[in-house]
């Protein structure tokens, strides 16, 4: 490749070559924003949370790039950050989702019409942060038990137990 | 784990690719056997192909909802002032200002031109597969006077003309576009560095976000490379260099790009700069 000569073309709109933020935006933006929206159920808050997650990625950019899976790292940070935000709001998930469900009204099919992920989301409110994290990575990210255990730093039996607790509640509370 | 009631996803779906794995595939994070197995499964599984398209749509929706300028402004702000508690009042004001600025950028992006289905289509037939299509649209800066250029042809450019590259693929491919000018300068067009962009089959032709304006004088040859396995900009650059050397330094009449160990379909166009 010829060096030391300005290329005779220009990209439009273009960006600085190797702009890390643009790369993060194009590769991972949709995934991280989607995770934040899924947990926070508020697009404005989700955008703020997503910015926080990418800010952390930039702060640790060298280590971040060296990760075997930068996306897995981002999804883990996003999940943890959003779950913590909900906890810090001190608004019980259960009451919040009850309100949301009622607000849907019959025009959307009423409270009976839940997507599967909405149900997972609703039931998560009753568990601790670690179980919430494990459930999201297992049921939403569709990671294996081994992968979830490695990601959250727990043993497979521990993760299995957490998921089984969640499963038990699902079977008890899920509408038929 | 047994499956949950109501069809709730219960971990990895038997016989299918897990969602995070699909996302990693889309982000170009998989390599070697993991990549090949995933690509092969996606090629043969309509459900996973549809889910991959949904992830593609999710990214496009995100880019529409949160333009790049607003994203970068927000992230830089979050780096300077870590959020410890809600601060909606001033954040709203700042976001509004950034939205206004982003609007200008958005106009610049969408105002270039929106390619229609072009007649100038390049087809590559590989035995036993559907065709890959390579597309070029040329337009004035305001998007007017659009025209197509078929692969292998020469197109004359006027001052300010902008070129946009498109494709349609029958299976998962890894896309890189580079250009070579008369002086032998090879310039990555898309992406500008790193790994190729994984692209998936869609019913409609897809175009890269950026358009290109060629400046200076003389000729410029553009290659669109669609590889079966992951490939990097550096590898394609070396392959183009090899092609240039084998053609005695002349950009005219160069053959297809070859990358050892990878099945590659390449298309090229020659542009006469004004």
The closest alpha carbon to A146, from A134, A136, A156, belongs to A156
CA distance A51 to A32: 9
* Partner-chain residue, chosen from A10, A27, A33, that has the shortest CB–CB distance to B213: A10
User: Per-residue pLDDT averaged across B75-87, rounded?
Assistant: 67
State ipTM: 0.73
| Average pLDDT in chain A | 75
What per-residue string of b and e applies to B180-202 under the rule 16 or more CB within 10 Å gives b? bbbeebbbbbbbbeebbbbbbbe
Q: What's the pLDDT band for A159 if we cut at 50, 70, 90?
A: very high
Q: Do A55 and B214 touch (CB under 8 A)?
A: no
Tokens of B156: 């004359």
Q: Which is more confident, B152 or B123?
A: B152
pLDDT in tens, A126-149: 888 899 999 899 988 889 899 999
The closest alpha carbon to B208, from B177, B165, B270, B154, belongs to B165
User: Per-residue pLDDT averaged across A77-85, rounded?
Assistant: 92
Residue identified by tokens 């105002």 is B111
The closest alpha carbon to B268, from B246, B253, B249, B258, belongs to B253
C-beta separation of B180 from B220 below 8 A:
yes
Q: Which residues of A touch B66 (CB under 8 A)?
A: 29, 33, 47, 50
User: Per-residue pLDDT averaged across B15-44, rounded?
Assistant: 90
The closest alpha carbon to A33, from A17, A48, A11, belongs to A48
Q: Which residues of B touch A164 (CB under 8 A)?
A: 1
A32-36, A88-92, B245-249: segment of lowest average pLDDT: A88-92
CA distance A114 to A101: 9
CA distance B24 to A150: 17
Which pLDDT does position B114 carry in this prediction? 45
Q: Do B8 and A12 touch (CB under 8 A)?
A: no
C-beta separation of B53 from B221 below 8 A:
no
pLDDT in tens, A103-115: 443 333 334 434 5
Which pLDDT does position A109 carry in this prediction? 37
The closest alpha carbon to B213, from B123, B116, B108, belongs to B108
Helix axes B68-80, B88-110, angle to 10 degrees: 150
Q: Indicate whether B57 pLDDT > 70.
A: yes
Task: Kindly give the residue spans of alpha helices, DSSP state H, lying in B81-195.
Answer: 88-110
Q: Which residues of B touch A120 (CB under 8 A)?
A: 8
* Partner-chain residue, chosen from B13, B191, B241, that has the shortest CB–CB distance to A1: B241
Which pLDDT does position B90 carry in this prediction? 29
């Amino acid at each position: 490749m010829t060096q030391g000569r300005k290329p005779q073309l220009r990209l439009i709109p273009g960006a600085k070559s190797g702009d890390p933020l643009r790369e993060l935006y194009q590769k991972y933006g949709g995934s991280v924003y989607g995770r934040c929206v899924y947990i926070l159920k508020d697009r404005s808050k989700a955008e703020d949370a997503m910015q926080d997650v990418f800010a952390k990625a930039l702060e640790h950019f060298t280590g971040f790039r060296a990760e075997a899976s930068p996306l897995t790292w981002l999804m883990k940070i996003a999940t943890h950050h959003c779950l913590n935000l909900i906890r810090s709001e001190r608004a019980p998930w259960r009451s919040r989702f009850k309100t949301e469900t009622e607000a849907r009204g019959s025009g959307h099919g009423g409270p009976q019409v839940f997507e599967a992920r909405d149900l997972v989301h609703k039931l998560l409110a009753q568990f601790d942060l670690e179980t919430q994290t494990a459930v999201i990575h297992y049921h939403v990210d569709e990671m294996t038990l081994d992968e979830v255990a490695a990601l959250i730093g727990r043993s497979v039996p521990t993760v299995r137990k957490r998921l089984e607790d969640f499963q038990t509640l699902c079977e008890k509370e899920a509408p038929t | 784990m047994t499956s949950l009631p109501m069809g709730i996803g219960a971990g990895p779906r038997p016989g299918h690719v897990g969602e995070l794995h699909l996302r990693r595939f889309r982000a170009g994070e998989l390599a070697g056997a993991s990549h090949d197995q995933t690509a092969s499964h996606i090629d043969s599984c309509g459900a996973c192909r549809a889910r991959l398209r949904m992830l593609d749509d999710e990214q496009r929706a995100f880019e529409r909802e949160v333009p790049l300028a607003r994203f970068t402004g927000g992230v830089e702000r979050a780096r300077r002032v870590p959020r410890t508690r809600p601060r909606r009042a001033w954040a709203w004001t700042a976001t509004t200002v950034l939205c206004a600025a982003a609007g200008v950028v958005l106009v610049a992006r969408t105002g270039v031109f929106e390619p229609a289905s072009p007649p100038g289509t390049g087809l590559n037939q590989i035995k036993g597969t559907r065709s890959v299509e390579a597309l070029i649209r040329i337009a004035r800066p305001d998007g007017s006077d659009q025209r197509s250029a078929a692969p292998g042809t020469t197109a004359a450019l006027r001052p300010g003309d902008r070129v946009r590259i498109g494709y349609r693929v029958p299976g998962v491919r890894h896309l890189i576009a580079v250009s070579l000018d008369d002086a032998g300068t090879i310039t990555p067009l898309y992406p500008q560095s790193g790994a190729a962009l994984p692209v998936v089959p869609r019913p409609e032709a897809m175009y890269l976000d950026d358009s290109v304006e060629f400046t200076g004088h003389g000729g410029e040859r553009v290659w669109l490379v669609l590889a079966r396995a992951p490939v990097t900009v550096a590898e394609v650059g070396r392959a183009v260099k090899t092609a240039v050397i084998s053609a005695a330094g002349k950009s005219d009449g160069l053959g297809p790009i070859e990358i050892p160990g990878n099945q590659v379909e390449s298309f090229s166009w020659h542009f006469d700069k004004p």
